[in-house]
């Protein structure tokens, strides 16, 4: 969703991941708590960051309830496996670490994913990374539910007013929805559960819309055809428009200047590029079809 697969390792990447989450997601240069300088090791422990919670609590101390409203978003990023001694914590980094919830049978497994949680206030233009965990492959849905509820409870105790959570459509996240009773089925739609702190409130589940659009584009590219309003849409028309638009016949006068080969045949990492997806389905490309 918000994390790209970069060349991180757990031993050196914990602070880098948190900083890059902030840099890539936030337009306003403000962070309540710095998880650590870029490229250096940090004494930030895995799990919920107590210093970040304290910074949030202090920031919202005199704010109204509406200004304390927020959601949690979470995602995973793939890491390179590596074991290294951390001079700050005097421990060995690189193994699975879910804090107190680390399964006993996984404690000696090398981690290859980082699970990151962020607090996003509704009425402010900043974000705050709040927790990070080290996992072996995708975090199982049963464990992810427990971690999610723990993060939400910790944020509530710090004074935030949590109204929901957002994630992409990975299998682990779908399992979370299933366990909580969230359903997207047409005849049984349910988008909220009783709040874990106050049963009189609702905790809403939001699916990452950008991820859904990326999945639609990737499915369209791979399967060639889509059915929309009882009409077949063929991907070959994109190829035809691009071929005509880039031909010498028009002397470089392009109708769809944003359309490139990366849109038509994206490489593996280009399939997760949000800009490419939205440019492909943009109004300017649609006008190119009409032209």
DSSP 186-209: GGG-B-EEE-SS-TTSEEEEEE-H
Mean pLDDT of the chain: 82
pLDDT category of residue 39 using cuts at 50, 70 and 90: very low
Mean predicted confidence (pLDDT) in 210-236: 84
Asked if residue 65 and residue 133 are part of one domain, the reply reads: yes
Determine, yes or no, domain membership for 267: yes
* Cα(271)–Cα(256) distance, integer angstroms: 20
pLDDT category of residue 118 using cuts at 50, 70 and 90: very high
Give the sheet arrangement for strand 113-121, strand by strand. 47-48, 128-135, 113-121, 69-78, 161-167, 202-207, 192-194
Domain, as residue range, for 227: 212-290
Taking 60 as the threshold, does the pLDDT of residue 144 lie above it? yes
**Ramachandran region, residue 267 (left: φ > 0; alpha: ψ -120 to 50; beta: rest):** beta
First-to-last C-alpha distance (Å) of the chain: 34
Mean predicted confidence (pLDDT) in 88-106: 85
Asked if residue 179 and residue 278 are part of one domain, the reply reads: no
Asked if residue 266 and residue 151 are part of one domain, the reply reads: no
Domain boundary among 207, 223, 256: 207
Asked if residue 149 and residue 227 are part of one domain, the reply reads: no
Position 64 scores a pLDDT of 92
148: exposed, middle or buried (Cβ count in 10 Å: 0-12, 13-18, 19+): buried
Position 258 scores a pLDDT of 83
Domain boundary among 185, 207, 229: 207
Determine, yes or no, domain membership for 5: no
Determine, yes or no, domain membership for 1: no
Taking 80 as the threshold, does the pLDDT of residue 28 lie above it? no
Determine, yes or no, domain membership for 141: yes
Asked if residue 267 and residue 197 are part of one domain, the reply reads: no
Asked if residue 150 and residue 247 are part of one domain, the reply reads: no
* Cα(42)–Cα(12) distance, integer angstroms: 9
Taking 90 as the threshold, does the pLDDT of residue 162 lie above it? yes
What whole-number percentage of the chain has pLDDT above 70?
84
Hey, what's the torsion of the CAs at 130, 136, 142, 144, to 10 degrees?
Answer: 10
pLDDT category of residue 16 using cuts at 50, 70 and 90: low
pLDDT category of residue 227 using cuts at 50, 70 and 90: confident
Position 59 scores a pLDDT of 87
Asked if residue 227 and residue 99 are part of one domain, the reply reads: no
Quote the number of domains for the chain.
2
Asked if residue 44 and residue 107 are part of one domain, the reply reads: yes
Which of 87-91, 99-103, 158-162, 211-215 is predicted most confidently?
158-162
């Amino acid at each position: 969703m918000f994390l790209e697969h970069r060349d991180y390792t757990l031993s050196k990447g914990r602070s880098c991941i948190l900083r890059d989450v902030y840099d890539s997601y936030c337009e306003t240069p403000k962070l309540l708590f710095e998880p650590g300088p870029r490229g250096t090791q940090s004494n930030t422990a895995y799990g919920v960051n107590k210093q970040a919670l304290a910074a949030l609590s202090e920031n919202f101390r005199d704010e109204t309830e509406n200004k304390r409203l927020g959601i949690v978003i979470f995602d995973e990023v793939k890491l390179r496996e590596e074991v290294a001694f951390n001079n700050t914590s005097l421990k060995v980094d690189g193994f699975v670490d879910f804090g107190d919830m680390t399964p006993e049978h996984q404690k000696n497994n090398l981690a290859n994913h980082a699970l990151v949680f962020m607090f996003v206030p509704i009425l402010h233009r900043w974000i705050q990374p709040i927790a990070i965990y080290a996992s072996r492959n995708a975090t199982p849905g049963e464990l992810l539910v427990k971690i999610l509820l723990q993060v939400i409870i910790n944020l509530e105790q710090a004074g935030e007013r949590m109204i929901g959570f957002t994630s992409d459509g990975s299998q682990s996240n779908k399992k979370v929805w299933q366990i909580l009773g969230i359903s997207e089925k047409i005849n049984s739609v349910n988008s909220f559960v009783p709040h874990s702190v106050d049963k009189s409130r609702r905790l809403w589940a939001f699916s990452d819309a950008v991820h859904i659009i990326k999945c639609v584009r990737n499915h369209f590219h791979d399967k060639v055809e889509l059915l929309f309003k009882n009409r077949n849409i063929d991907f070959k028309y994109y190829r035809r428009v691009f071929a005509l638009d880039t031909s010498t016949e028009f002397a470089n006068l392009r109708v769809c200047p944003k359309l490139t080969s990366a849109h038509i045949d994206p490489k593996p990492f280009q399939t997760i590029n949000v800009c490419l997806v939205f440019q492909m389905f943009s109004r300017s490309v649609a006008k190119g079809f009409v032209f």
